[in-house]
Amino acid sequence: MRITFRIILSIFIVIGVIVVLFTVLQVEQEKKRMTKDLERRASVLGESLKESVEPLVAKGLAQRLQTIVAKFGNRENLAGVAVYDAGDKLVASTAPLTPHLKTPLPLVGRVLSAGQEEGTFFFMGGKEVYLHALPLHREKNVSGALVIFYETKQIRESVARIWENNFMRWLVSALFISLTTLLVIRWSMVHPIARMADWMKSLRTEKEDAPLPPPPGRVFEPLAREATRMVRSISEARSAAEQEARLRRNGETFWTPVRLREHVRNLLRGRPLFVVSNREPYVHERQGKKIEYVVPASGLVTALEPILQACGGTWVAHGSGDADREVVDEQNQVRVPPEDPQYTLKRVWLTKEEEEGYYYGFANEPLCHIAHTRPTFRAEDWSHYEAVNWKFALATLEELENSQDPWILVQDYHFALLPRMIKGKRPDARVALFWHIPWPNPESFGICPWQREIVHGMLGADLIGFHVQFHCNNFLETVDRALESRIDWENFTVERENHLTQVKPFPISIASPAPAALSNPVNGSLKKNLLREVGVQGEYLGVGVDRVDYTKGLRERFLAIERFLEKYPSYQGEFTFVELGAPSRTHIKEYRDLVARLETEAERINWRFQTKEWKPIVFLKRHHSHKEIAPFYEAADLCLVTSLHDGMNLVAKEFIGAKGDESGVLILSQFTGASRELKDALIVNPYDTEQMAEAIRRALEMDPEERRARMERMREAVNERNIYRWAGDLLSSLSRIRLSSVPPMGVNTRHNLSKPNNLPGGG
């Protein structure tokens, strides 16, 4: 109540001050206008009287002058007229004025001396009048003065009306604005705050099975956003605690961000954690005049972002956004996430030539993926690959300057040379390299002209991780054939040039799945709305989420859908598959050709089966945010993950994580790392069109109870081996490695890192 009174009082005072200021200005303008009007009227009247008065003044006929001025005593707003001779002596005046003109008027003296008409306001008899004096002439000489007196009652009344009207305006405006403000406060502030309080109370007290939806932000959007994060954190912590308690009762363990944070703190004991990758977790881009940030669609970002959010540290990555340089400081750093900073992003800048050669030219050649695509090796691409690895080494070592015993997680095939470069300068650093793609057999990898340099650089790491044991075996066999080294097959270690490297599988995952729904499965309206948005009608929805890449088996997927509709025509008009395909490396001809082939294939199949309101394949070729993808996961009856060769493929786990209602079926390629863990998926050979078509039919016709049981078991598997456990296992293994105090051979520790052409040999 007190706050309301203060607001109303403030409104009245502020509006009152504004009204007074504007009224004063308006009064001054009105006075000027009316004064000019008086001057004009007096001048006109004076000029007409001068013709009659001037001859009489010259002849000294006072009686006749008195007769003339007496006629002007009763006119409207005219107080009277007076005539003076050249000696400033009153000759004649209107009777009411005579008692007040015993003393000379200063105005008359000025007019007689200057010979020009003049007007002024003058207090006479206790009230203000307006005087206008005109000189009288006789043969070009001033012979006297004619003074006209006007009452100012009209001006006073006009000013009073202005003040009265503006006072009423102030009163009405203040009342109206106060009432409006109170209503706005109630609708936009009091009501949202009350809703927010009820919402937070329901979550705190757990009185509601389904918590109230978060209140709309409106003017409290920043507060609502922060409160939403806080409540979500509390809810997640409570859910994690309940899940951990349940798992502990069953003799199992459950990893959460809190547990990972405490685990890493115990391992690091104040030592810094660094992540090095090509892909950055946040990209800043200019949208018109504003700078917006986007989270790139990347399995690596999906996997690593929760770790640094949980543990803090520094992420070193290529700055690829067109506004990335505008948001960093002088050290090329920016704190992220932008809305709730938890760690530092250090950006490294690459020229177009470096990016073209290192990333598009060498790193992305199909060497590790068994996808029946011949790689092309160019010496200039390899030179750029070496140079960029040195550039990242420089940036990372710069961050390590004031750090003791740092821990570094190097990510993926972009930085095969980086571990040895860093170890050569900082033997005290614990370096882990995680390879996110498959490692092929030695014969396949052996075609690379620089296989020795690549493997030698990787063995600079203390720990090398792959998704599955099969890839670890392939790597060790490649080392055995390519380099002189000592391999311990029992402990999966490689000793080369006084340095020991351990090779282990670490199946990567996602954060914990969303809590299981307490209500019925996803309402069919969500599915209908999504199908309507993509321009079709149907009963069943399938989804695929991929980068448009030759390893993802998209063409094989489309052919399986075609075969399914051939074999089971009853599903024509009922089943629609939506492919959310993110274009990848579109300036490379092979990738553009791939997109064109997939478009052609989808159009051919659609032309064969489509009706006016339905088509079997909707191919959406653009980058989709996690927020846009989530509804398709939730509503889909099945998800197709049919990679021809893949390290893990987190789409499979993301689909499972989104299925809080435990519905839906996952159809999964046997050539993905995920197929080793998700045994309850329908495992298929993506090259076998008949098998995939049959898997689609089985998924759509599966008994609901079996579908639920399969999804429940897969969610438990993903929950148990989530991203936090992956990080915990990886860092625990890295902590157990005994470091040598001697730098790995093959790297000159006195080497000047600013000269990237002097690279270590392959041995």
Give 328-354 pLDDT, tens digit per residue: 999 999 999 988 899 999 999 999 999
**Structure token digits, residue 588:** 């490379």
Range of weakest confidence among 128-142, 335-349, 666-680: 128-142
Q: What is the pLDDT of residues 714-760, one digit of tens each?
A: 999 998 888 888 988 999 999 999 886 555 555 443 334 444 443 33
**CB neighbours (10 Å) of residue 625?**
11
Residues 560, 694: Cα–Cα separation, whole Å: 9
Sign of the torsion angle spanned by Cα atoms 587, 590, 591, 597 = positive
Mean pLDDT of 250-275: 80
**Structure token digits, residue 11:** 């409104």
Q: What pLDDT is attached to residue 241?
A: 64
Q: What pLDDT is attached to residue 748?
A: 44
Mean pLDDT of 93-105: 84
In the predicted model, is pLDDT for residue 404 greater than 60?
A: yes
> What Å distances lie between residue 248 and 253, 261, 303, CA to CA?
6, 19, 25
In the predicted model, is pLDDT for residue 565 greater than 80?
A: yes
Q: For residue 542, which amino acid is it?
A: G
Q: What is the pLDDT of residues 363-384, one digit of tens each?
A: 877 666 665 567 788 999 999 9
Q: What pLDDT is attached to residue 571?
A: 96
Question: Which uninterrupted H or E stretch holds 430?
Answer: strand 430-434
Mean pLDDT of 71-75: 70
- In CATH terms, are 272-505 and 524-721 the same topology? yes
Q: Which residue has the higher pLDDT, 516 or 559?
A: 559
Mean pLDDT of 106-118: 87
What architecture is the 524-721 domain classified under in CATH? Answer: 3-Layer(aba) Sandwich (3.40)
Mean pLDDT of 402-413: 91
pLDDT > 70 in the chain, percent: 84
CA atoms within 13 A on the CB side of 369: 24
User: In 152-216, which ranges are E strands?
Assistant: none
In the predicted model, is pLDDT for residue 558 greater than 90?
A: yes
**SS3 of 726, please?**
helix
Sign of the torsion angle spanned by Cα atoms 8, 13, 16, 18 = negative
Residues 395, 399: Cα–Cα separation, whole Å: 7
Q: What is the pLDDT of residues 416-444, one digit of tens each?
A: 999 999 999 999 999 999 998 889 889 98
Residues 199, 218: Cα–Cα separation, whole Å: 16
What architecture is the 2-151 domain classified under in CATH? Answer: 2-Layer Sandwich (3.30)
Q: What pLDDT is attached to residue 749?
A: 38
Q: Check if the beta carbon of residue 117 is closer than 8 Å to that of residue 93.
A: no
Q: What is the pLDDT of residues 641-657, one digit of tens each?
A: 999 988 888 899 999 99
Determine the topology of domain 272-505 in CATH.
Rossmann fold (3.40.50)
Cα end-to-end span (Å), the chain: 82
Mean pLDDT of 96-116: 85
Q: What is the pLDDT of residues 293-302, one digit of tens each?
A: 888 766 667 6
Q: Which residue has the higher pLDDT, 635 or 126?
A: 635
> What Å distances lie between residue 402 and 173, 335, 394, 424, 431, CA to CA?
64, 19, 14, 17, 17
Q: Which residue has the higher pLDDT, 239 or 526?
A: 526
In the predicted model, is pLDDT for residue 543 greater than 50?
A: yes
Confidence of residue 485 (pLDDT cuts 50, 70, 90): very high
* 202-211 CB contacts, 8 Å cutoff, 24+ apart: 203/231, 203/234, 203/235, 204/234, 209/518, 210/518, 210/519, 211/235
Q: What pLDDT is attached to residue 261?
A: 81
Q: What pLDDT is attached to residue 233?
A: 67
Q: What pLDDT is attached to residue 751?
A: 38
Domain boundaries, the chain: 2-151, 272-505, 524-721
What is the strand order of the sheet 78-85 is part of? 90-93, 78-85, 141-151, 127-138, 118-124
Mean pLDDT of 138-146: 85
Q: What pLDDT is attached to residue 348?
A: 96
Mean residue pLDDT across the chain = 84
Q: What pLDDT is attached to residue 763?
A: 30
Residue 139 CB-density burial (10 A; 0-12 exposed, 13-18 middle, 19+ buried)? exposed
Q: What pLDDT is attached to residue 240?
A: 60
Q: Which residue has the higher pLDDT, 551 or 197?
A: 551
Q: What pLDDT is attached to residue 369?
A: 60
3-state SS track over 106-153:
HHHHHHHHHCCCEEEEEEECCEEEEEEEEEEEECCEEEEEEEEEEECH
Q: What is the pLDDT of residues 194-213, one digit of tens each?
A: 777 776 676 566 544 444 45
In the predicted model, is pLDDT for residue 48 greater than 60?
A: yes
Q: What pLDDT is attached to residue 754?
A: 44
Q: What pLDDT is attached to residue 475?
A: 96
Range of weakest confidence among 214-228, 265-279, 611-625, 683-697: 214-228
Q: What pLDDT is attached to residue 758?
A: 39
Q: What is the pLDDT of residues 312-328, one digit of tens each?
A: 899 999 998 899 999 99
In the predicted model, is pLDDT for residue 541 greater than 90?
A: yes
Mean pLDDT of 678-699: 96
Residues 334, 753: Cα–Cα separation, whole Å: 25
Q: What pLDDT is attached to residue 717?
A: 92
Q: Check if the beta carbon of residue 547 is closer than 8 Å to that of residue 582.
A: yes
